[in-house]
Amino acid sequence: MTPPNEPPVHIQNFRMDFDGTTVVSVLSFDVERGETFGFLGSNGSGKTTTLRALLGIYAPTSGILHIDGRPFTPETGPRLGYLPEERGLYKKESVIDVMTYFGQLKGLQRRDAVAWSVRYLERVGLGDKVKTKVEKLSGGQQQKVQLGVTIMNDPELLILDEPTKGFDPVNRRLLMDIIGEHKAQGATVLMVTHQMEEVERLCDRVILLKDGEAEAYGTIPAVQNHYGGTMIRLVYSGQVPSSPFYEISTLSRNYAELTLADGVDEALVLRDLVGAGILVRSFTTSKLSLEEIFVKVYGAETEKAGV
């Protein structure tokens, strides 16, 4: 039972060191009941480490990591669906045996676990693979089985670490539909992903982790505002001058994207461009997308890392 003032996921002052190296220095955030929360960050920023510590797989160096008001254990925790980044199943067993086993471990009766698994496999197009050994399935098919194992106990809390990794666009859509269904049923979803369009479509709030600390945290509009927020897409003739009011993000023949500096009015920029002799054919403003924000936040370190 969640304490009255504590949300389903509560992380406070979490720190994680491995052999003297700090992976997460200080991290605090909450995931509210029923929301879909995006946990974002570049590779190696500590996302998976945080999830593992939250689920008791790693012992934290310090800090509080609670699920439903206490450290997670399989016996006392809520109905959990966890899809780890490192995927794997018992390979020598049949699909139905593996799914039934996990279903029973998650508290289902054997008969119910079998029935649920058969229905799920039919839905995801694996109805003819019920008795096939897992090792005989393709990578994408194994992913579907793994997703089934994750959601088969009708989880209250879904923790998904890069859920669409390895999925083709069709199966990615299927996965997103399934996550959407659980969200509609009131499940809380904590999701690590690098697919920013998924985040914009599904997530209520996000946190951006950088160098083991929260770089930004809040609703998507709040994060967009935090990073200056506004971009101008310009179709023109002439030469775009440099200006302290904006930064030229993209520049090609007759098209430019300008990221506005904080507090600068779009009308002022338009007036300056016209004053500089630019023939403006189209002038539209929009918020920075999460992908653009991601590149802005992590671009430098990704380039440094040579990725």
Partner 1 sequence: MAQFNLQTVIGFEVKRTLGRKRFWITTLAVPIALAVVFALVALSNTPAADNTAAAESDAGFSFTYSDASGYIAPETAALFGGTAVTDDAAAIDAVRNGKAEAHFVYAADPTMTATAVYGADLGLFENSGYQTVARQLLVASSQAEIGDPMLAALAEGNVPVNATTFLDGQESTGFGGIIPPMIFLVLFFLTFLLLANQMLTVTQEEKENRVTEMILTTVNPNALIGGKIIALFAVGLVQMLCFALPLLIGYLFFRTSLNLPEFDLASLTFDPAKMIIGALLALGSFSLFTGTLVAIGAVMPTAKDAGGLMGGLTILMIVPLYGISLILSDPNGFISQIFTYFPYFSPITAMFRNAVGSLSGWEAAIVIVELFVLSAIVLRLAVRLFRYGSIQYTSKVSLKTVLAASK
In this complex, which beta carbon is closest to partner 1, that of residue 66 or of residue 205?
Answer: 66
Query: Least distance in Å: CB of 70 to partner 1?
Result: 15
Q: For 18-109, where are the alpha helices, taking DSSP H only?
A: 47-54, 95-105
Assess 88 for contact with partner 1 (CB under 8 A): yes
List 175's β-bridge partners, or say none: none
CA atoms lying within 13 Å on the CB side of residue 112:
11
Phi and psi at residue 31, to the nearest 5°: -115, 120
Assess 3 for contact with partner 1 (CB under 8 A): no
User: In the window 230-269, what residues touch partner 1 (CB under 8 A)?
Assistant: none
In sequence order, the 6+-apart residues with CB closer than 8 A to the CB of 138 are none
Query: Least distance in Å: CB of 159 to partner 1?
Result: 8
Assess 116 for contact with partner 1 (CB under 8 A): no
Query: Least distance in Å: CB of 219 to partner 1?
Result: 29
In this complex, which beta carbon is closest to partner 1, that of residue 117 or of residue 259?
Answer: 117
Nearest to 81 by CA among 169, 8, 146: 146
In this complex, which beta carbon is closest to partner 1, that of residue 101 or of residue 255?
Answer: 101
In this complex, which beta carbon is closest to partner 1, that of residue 67 or of residue 232?
Answer: 67
Radius of gyration of the CA atoms of the chain, in A = 23
Phi and psi at residue 13, to the nearest 5°: 50, 40
Query: Least distance in Å: CB of 195 to partner 1?
Result: 21
Considering CB under 8 A, how many residues would be counted as binding partner 1? 32
Give, as one character, the DSSP assignment of residue 203: -
In this complex, which beta carbon is closest to partner 1, that of residue 18 or of residue 282?
Answer: 18
Q: Is-contact 194 41, C-beta < 8 A?
A: no
Nearest to 66 by CA among 21, 106, 115, 31: 31
Query: Least distance in Å: CB of 42 to partner 1?
Result: 21
In sequence order, the 6+-apart residues with CB closer than 8 A to the CB of 271 are none
Assess 132 for contact with partner 1 (CB under 8 A): no
- Site stretch for partner 1 (CB under 8 A), options 71-79, 169-177, 181-189, 204-212: 71-79
Pull the structure tokens for residue 153: 């106990």
Binding to partner 1 by CB under 8 A, coded x per residue (else -) over 40-59, reads: ------------x--xxxxx
Query: Least distance in Å: CB of 89 to partner 1?
Result: 6
Phi and psi at residue 274, to the nearest 5°: -65, -40
Assess 73 for contact with partner 1 (CB under 8 A): yes
Assess 177 for contact with partner 1 (CB under 8 A): no
How far is 37 from 65, CA to CA, in rounded Å?
Answer: 16
Please give the residue ranges that form the binding site for partner 1 (CB under 8 A).
Answer: 18-19, 52, 55-59, 72-75, 80, 82, 84, 86-93, 97, 101-102, 104-107, 146, 149
